[in-house]
Chain A
Amino acid sequence: MPYGLIISKLLDNNDLNILKIYPLQLNFQKDYLLDLYKSFLHNRNSNFQTQYFHEQGFCINSIFTNGNFKYFFTLILDIEEDPEEYEPILCLVAIDYILMQNNQNDNLNFILNDSNIESVFKFIKNFPKLKIEVKYSLILLSNIFQTTLNIFREKGVLTRDQIEKELNTNIPSIKNCIDVNLIIKVLIYFQILREEILEGMKIPTYFLIKDLVPCRIPAIKIYEESSLRNVPTEFEGILKNSIKDFFTNYKIDENDNISILKNIILNKEVYECFKVLRIACIKKEELEELQYKGVYNIDECLNVLLNHKMIISHKDNKKNEYFSLISDFQIIEFFPEYLYNKYIEQYKNKTINEFILMRAIEILKEELVKWIYKENF
């Protein structure tokens, strides 16, 4: 379990300014931290380092952000913990923090906005236990991650410097501000990018191996098995027609997706409600049992879901109020088959090195076999 979080800034005179520390009683003197960080910087071959203190039973997982803003984000963990599990969220917090220091707006801001260090720490602490769709939501909301993904969707393969150059062109305001290594680290964690050092090259090359698309899909289980899923008989027809009507006219809408990610998937209380409604049609009083999961304001949660047209309600003769899902929301992982076309285009335009291209094709082939349909899928 993580014990604490420290955010500090390396000053020009190599002194350290501790900006945030949680919990306050965490006993780390500035000089001690400075020594740790100096040793990190002296030995470093990446932005990430874990230092183990076996006798004391803890380890320190630090990330260093390069560029104009030199920060350390340090998590103190139990020695039994896997520090790599926390690196992606530490990277996201770092990106968010630096953007805020630069008055930049990115949808990631919700992690730190209006939050104190305690809630940031709690978010980090819970990160490994979050469902993958919640973790994905963090990057799908971020303008920086979306831009990086779009760059990869066009090129398929890039080096670190190329990513940086493309990002600076697309979002000039982040130039020298965000360390690209943090973005890469997160995308590798999600197995969206694959890193390889190609023969004869000193620097790593990154290949897109998976794509994501967030979108609404019909509430299929409720539609197909309405009687098994608690849908009152008199409500069945209305429900099925509502699902059909909604999806006859539906087109993927980026703003709608962002609103669902932000207000439903990343809102702990609404998400708990949503998860239950994915399984069955539920009476309002049954939803009130979710209090044990920290859902205290059912009315507000239901309003969010109704306003987003995720659910509809129905009152029976006995004035029982039922709520049922009409629209589910999924983040679909898929194989980037389209890169084949992009590679042909780049080869024809001579904008890709042939050696890199051949390896990129091999990697697509290697990844393809992982997407085979299984009988029980």
Chain B
Amino acid sequence: MIENKYTQIEIEYIEKNLNKLYNLVKKNKELDKISLLNDRITCIKNILIEFWKKIGINY
């Protein structure tokens, strides 16, 4: 069983976005210009890419 992990930089990026979303919701503001994070398929793809790299092929 494998646990996917994030680097400190990735954590900070996600945290920054979560903070931004939290503050906008708190102030009841529109979210038109807010950026998105990875969707589920991309999250999974990013995990698998690392394993495929180890045998020298692209996922």
Q: How far is the CA of A362 from the CA of B26 in the complex (A)?
A: 12
Q: Find out whether the CB atom of A368 lies under 8 angstroms from the CB atom of B31.
A: no
- Name the B residues within 8 Å of A136 (CB-CB): 1
Q: Give B52 Cβ to nearest chain A Cβ, in Å.
A: 6
Q: Which of A218, A223, A369 has the most CB of B within 10 A?
A: A218
Question: Given contacts A341-B37, A368-B11, are A223 and B2 in contact (CB under 8 A)?
Answer: no
Kindly state the separation between the CA atoms of A203 and B8 in the bound complex, as whole angstroms: 36
Query: How far, in angstroms, from A336 to B38 measured CA to CA in the complex?
Result: 10
B37→A357 contact, CB < 8 A: no
Is A340 part of the binding interface, using a Cβ–Cβ cutoff of 8 Å? yes
Among B2, B19, B43, B48, point to the contact of A338 (Cβ < 8 A): B43
Residues 124-136 of chain A, each 1 if its beta carbon lies under 8 Å from chain B, else 0: 0000000111001
Bound-state CA distance A348–B36 (Å) is 13
A374 near B5 (CB under 8 angstroms)? yes
The number of chain A residues with a CB under 8 A from chain B is: 48
Pick the most buried of B34, B43, B56: most chain A CB atoms within 10 A of its CB: B43
- How many angstroms between the C-alpha atoms of A224 and B5 in the bound complex? 22
Chain B residues, CB < 8 A from A331? 1-2
Contact call B26/A358, Cβ cutoff below 8 A: yes
A334 on the B face (CB < 8 A): yes
Question: Are B8's CB and A344's CB within 8 A?
Answer: no
A373's nearest neighbour on chain B, judged by CB, is B5
Question: Which residue in A215, A247, A334, A372 is a CB contact (below 8 Å) of B57?
Answer: A247
User: Across the interface, which residues of B come within 8 angstroms of A362, CB to CB?
Assistant: 22
A340 touching B14, Cβ below 8 Å: yes
Closest to B59 in A: A247
- Verify A218–B21 contact, CB threshold 8 A: no
B interface SS class:
helix
Interface positions, chain A 295-354, Cβ under 8 Å from B, are 330-338, 340-341, 343-344, 347-348, 354
Given the complex, which residues of B lie within 8 Å of A171, measured CB to CB?
none
Question: Which A residues touch B57, using CB under 8 A?
Answer: 244, 247-248
- Flag if A373 contacts B7 (CB, 8 Å): yes
- Chain B's closest residue to A223 (CB) is B55
Q: Are A332 and B15 in contact (CB under 8 A)?
A: no
Residue among A213, A340, A365 facing the most chain B CB atoms (10 A cut-off): A340
Q: Which of A213, A217, A247, A368 contacts B14 (CB 8 A)?
A: A368
Given A220-B54, A341-B36, CB of A333 within 8 Å of CB of B1:
yes
Report the bound CA distance from A337 to B39 in whole Å.
Answer: 8
A377 lies within 8 A of chain B by Cβ: yes
Q: Which residues of A contact B6 (CB under 8 A)?
A: 335, 368, 371-373
Residue of A nearest to B12 (CB): A368
Measured between beta carbons, the chain A residues less than 8 angstroms from B17 are: 340
Residues 198-223 (chain A) with a chain B CB within 8 angstroms: 211, 213, 215, 217-218, 220, 223
Q: Would you list the 3 A-B pairs with minimal beta carbon distance, nearest first?
A: A334-B4, A373-B5, A338-B40
